[in-house]
Amino acid sequence: MALVQPLPSRNLVFPAPELHDPTTFDLATHGQPDFSESGQFFWADEQTHKAENGT
């Protein structure tokens, strides 16, 4: 029988990459999607995220 001691827990922190676009979400500006436009910030659309053929 072996005596096993758990390692002390520690938080690991990894650096995040720099942002390419500094735009932050604003509820007044970005809160409602405009479905007549594609490429809006914070909203996926069928033009940029098309379904694969056969699905």
pLDDT, one tens digit per residue, over 19-35 is 888 888 888 888 888 87
Q: How do residues 33-51 score in pLDDT, each as one tens digit?
A: 887 877 788 887 766 656 6
Minimal CA–CA distance to 19: which of 41, 49, 51, 45? 41
What pTM value is reported for the model? 0.39
